[in-house]
A and B are shown apart, each in its own frame.
Chain A
């Protein structure tokens, strides 16, 4: 068994958080509030580091006064807490959304659409042909909101089945991931804390 104070704190926090599975209780609530408080505080510290290193330092040390603009926009985000001037926050939000939208659109068009199509249509083996057929079938399932009759109806139906296979695979891998996280905690309790693991 470990004699390290830090390991003991870690162990007790682990048990407190795990106790929620049995029933909500004060130990869990304390650990939960510590978790939220520390992670929110850590985010503030990291954010401050970003502002200091990316904007304040270049302004102070290299005289790059242009950084006053993003700093001002950032400060204006907090106008939302003041009645009467809360509308000012729309401007920094507009800038942020503009940047986010621009980046998302260009990434989606190129990486998630054009390159995916070119990867689908470059056919060289039986599996490639299957992939092409399955992609077309799955897309047809999304695009035809009305049920197709006759032989054409089998295409979206195949797409639906392909999607079920994808969801089944996703379920299998989700189970795999969740188990891994719990195993990690058990390894800590039995190994680092209690010292009974081989």
Chain B
């Protein structure tokens, strides 16, 4: 039993790599159920009429792209199919490059720039910039990411404030992110918000979802995988799901190795003093 508590660090690293790489090389095909969160988000996007205007916040960077990019691409595919217009913006300095990449890797590559979609680039200032955007979109984003005046694009005609936007979709791993859109945009204009968040942030945005401030969320890579299935374009996220499942199992097994032996020991030695049990914990803590 004690051996289970002292697996060397390097072994754990190798086991992790094998567990993740194995199912990528030989997929198992574990069925991916659709959760209520994703179905709700999908239905919200699906309710958009052709010609609606969506602001798409590319608020992620390459560091989080493994989780966020599949979400962005899956939703973009859905938006393309719905024939809506997309205004790409970013409050994260590396976002405009993410937008360019996502537009060119999806069905948007075949659409007309400036008419069907536009990439307005980045604005500094975090939450303050989000607030400026809400009340004055053409003023805050006076140019696109290459410096062309945004007023020269047909898609921008008639767009003044967030009230002129049918939905905001933000793909954001941190701040500025959905919280800032809720605080600065939803508070005044009640614009519908869909948020793609990394798994880490699912629990943090839950209160906004319950309060109805955010209409739907996509959480982490599983969220992207489920959306890919709903838009019938299985991609990178779906391919990753077997590895994701096995990784979770590995962690659970490791936590069990750590806790089950001491759980039984604690039962046996319930009568022993507190100092005795602290010593045992200390020994288990090294490896």
A and B touching (Cβ–Cβ under 8 A): yes
Instruction: Give A residues with C-beta under 8 Å from B.
Output: 21, 39, 42-43, 46-47, 49-50, 52-54, 57-58, 99-100, 103-104, 106-108, 110-112, 115-116, 118-119, 131, 166, 169-170, 173-177, 179-187, 190-191, 196-198
**Nearest Cβ distance between residue A6 and chain B, in whole angstroms?**
13
- Residues facing A in B52-76 (CB within 8 A) are 64-67
Bound Cα distance from A170 to B220, whole angstroms: 13
Known: A42-B94, A179-B248, A197-B24. A104 touches B212 (CB 8 A): no
B229 located at the interface, meaning its Cβ lies under 8 Å from any Cβ of chain A in the complex:
no
Separation of A177 and B203 alpha carbons in the complex (Å): 12
B128 contacts A181, CB within 8 Å? no
CB-defined contacts of A39 to chain B, threshold 8 Å:
94
Residue pair A187, B240 in contact (C-beta under 8 Å) = yes
Does B118 sit within 8 A of A, measured CB to CB?
A: no
Question: Does residue B213 face the partner (Cβ distance < 8 Å to A)?
Answer: yes
A131 to B206, CA, bound (A): 12
- Which of A111, A170, A197 makes the CB contact (< 8 A) with B179? A111
Contacts A49-B122, A58-B142, A185-B66 hold; do A21 and B13 have CB atoms under 8 A apart? yes
Report how far A47 CA is from B17 CA in the complex, Å.
Answer: 39
B contact patch SS: helix
Determine if A190 and B25 form an interchain contact, defined as CB atoms under 8 angstroms apart.
Answer: yes
Residue-wise, chain B 75-104 has the 8 Å CB interface mask toward A (1 for contact) of 000000000000000000110100000000
B280 CB to closest chain A CB (Å) equals 23
Cβ proximity bits B219-259 to A, threshold 8 Å, 1 near / 0 not: 11110000000000000100110011001100100000000
Chain B interface size, under 10 / 10 to 19 / 20 to 34 / 35 or more: 35 or more
Decide yes or no whether B119 CB sits under 8 A from chain A. Answer: no
**Contact among A112, A181, A197 for B183, CB-based, below 8 A:** A112
Shortest beta-carbon distance from A74 to chain B in Å: 10
Contacting pair A103 B128 (CB below 8 A): yes
Residues of the B chain whose Cβ atoms lie less than 8 Å from the Cβ of A50: 122-124
Whether B65 contacts A184 by the Cβ 8 Å rule is yes
A21 to B10, CA, bound (A): 10
Q: Are A111 and B247 in contact (CB under 8 A)?
A: no
Q: Is the CB of B220 within 8 A of A173?
A: yes
A53 and chain B: residue at smallest CB distance: B143
- Measured CB to CB, the nearest residue on chain B to A169 is B203
**Which B residues touch A198, using CB under 8 A?**
25-27
B124's partner among A47, A176, A180, A181 (CB-CB below 8 A) is A47
Provide the bound-state CA to CA distance between A155 and B140, in Å.
Answer: 48
- Residue pair B25, A173 in contact (C-beta under 8 Å): no
Q: Is the CB of A177 within 8 A of B187?
A: no
Q: Which residue of A lies closest to B224 (CB)?
A: A180
B179 close to A180 (CB less than 8 A): no
**Bound state CA distance, A184 and B145, in angstroms?**
27
Instruction: Judge whether A186 and B198 touch: CB under 8 Å.
Output: no
Contacting residues, chain B, for A166 (C-beta < 8 A): 203
